[in-house]
Amino acid sequence: MSKTLQAIRGMNDVLPEQSPLWRYFEQQVAAVLDSYGYRQIRMPVVEFTELFRRSIGEVTDIVEKEMYTFEDRNGDSLTLRPEGTAGCVRAVMEHGLINNGLVQKLWYSGAMFRHERPQKGRYRQFHQVGVEVFNLPGPDIDAELILLTWRLWHKLGIADSVTLELNSLGTSASRAAYRAALVEYLNSHFARLDEDSQRRVATNPLRVLDSKDEQTQAILAEAPRLEDYLDEESTSHFAGLCARLDAAGVPYVLNNRLVRGLDYYSKTVFEWTTDKLGAQGTVCGGGRYDGLIEQMGGKPTTGVGFAMGVERLLLMLETLDKVPAGLRQQVDVYFCAFGEAAELAAVQWAERIRDALPQLRLQVNAGGGGFKSQFKKADRSTAAYALVLGEDELNNNSIGLKPLRTDDEQQTVPLDDLTGHLAALFAGA
């Protein structure tokens, strides 16, 4: 017996009844980003594996455990992208978009892939919206990125359910000094650290700060503090960011253990978190990566950006009942036609209606059927009204207009007045 074909674990179909919410979210995001002057870029989902090793860092969990990597027919090692920043940086470098200090404010969206244990809000194929800015070194652009996300949360109705957490990782020099002090401290308590943290002491010690192990967190209570090692440049940059957020009235909390999971961050790092989704609390995160482009073989270029998890934000909208009621209605008018002559006339009139009212969502019955059958399909379509055209209506040069969501009586409308009547009916839609 052949195996039943089904989706790969952790890679989910978005079904027709779910798609309207995805489209709504994408439209809200695009509108906010357009209003701030950001332009969309689209990158491939497959890149050379070396790109992620050089950008994300070889000792990160993503590169070590989670990437979907394979060899193609030419023997090249390729990887399904686990995040978007590396590909965006590769694209702007390859096409000279940031040469000579040219400022770029870009955004992208699409599927990312990580081989993780699937759970609610965390999948192996997941979707992100990412924003990247190049050649703007000041805290003003860091603040703008946070402000536009704050505006989006308000637009989606979830601003009261998210918290902004901020930290500064300093420059590479200040971070190196801190790293040395932290490693010394952690080694003095090595035996009591959890297994993952013990491994990270030698490879990526700042990630120990992000440990969820209670005993490790207790040890970290007395660890050296990153803010004590920040140089004047980093301190001034972070103060400038906080001042702008204060001026705009954006609330935030300082989290000196916030490090993010990728090696390329420096100075500002931030996360938007929520307590509405259980363990998967981060819905958006990012920060500055001023050394990344040079690390990848380019000229010194500043960069800052963030990514938001689409599935988690959609789950939040559903959990908080912030899904617009209108999304459930995907058809405005369903056209029922009875008899061959009526079916031919329905084709003609439907196209006239679409010409006159291009925003109206009109579905014409297909597959024939009697009165009861067609009205059952009309009801399932979510349409507010049904147009009823049969032999009697054709003889009288009229059409029936039946409300499907109220108890109002069916009306008879002259065919010549139909488009005007529908225009008036849906004027406020």
Residue 182 tokens, joined: 């932290």
Classify domain 329-425 at the CATH topology level.
Rossmann fold (3.40.50)
Residue 52, helix vs strand vs coil = helix
The two structure tokens encoding residue 275: 């307590």
- Is residue 259 within 8 Å of residue 179, measured between CB atoms? no
Taken in order 409, 410, 415, 418, the sign of the CA dihedral is positive
pLDDT in tens, the chain (429 residues): 578 899 999 999 999 999 999 999 999 999 999 999 999 999 999 999 999 988 877 656 667 678 999 999 999 999 999 999 999 999 999 999 999 999 999 999 999 999 988 887 789 999 999 999 999 999 999 999 999 999 999 999 999 999 999 999 888 888 888 888 888 988 998 889 988 888 888 888 888 887 888 899 899 888 888 888 899 999 999 999 999 999 999 999 999 888 775 667 889 999 999 999 877 689 999 999 998 999 889 999 999 999 999 999 999 999 999 999 889 889 999 999 999 999 999 999 999 999 999 999 999 999 999 999 999 999 999 999 999 999 999 999 999 999 999 999 999 999 999 999 999 999 865
- Give the residue extent of every domain in the chain: 19-171+231-319, 329-425
Cα–Cα distance, 392 to 414 (Å, whole number): 12
Q: Measured between alpha carbons, how far is 200 from 197 in angstroms, rounded to an integer?
A: 5
Q: At the top level of CATH, which class does the domain 19-171+231-319 belong to? A: alpha beta
DSSP labels, 389-415: E-HHHHHTTEEEEEESSS-PPPEEEEG
429/425 Cα distance (integer angstroms): 9
SS3 content of the chain, % helix, strand, coil (to 5): 45, 20, 35
Distance of alpha carbon 254 from alpha carbon 89, whole angstroms: 29
> Residue 375 is inside which H or E element, if any?
helix 371-380
Burial class (CB in 10 A: 0-12, 13-18, 19+), 310: buried
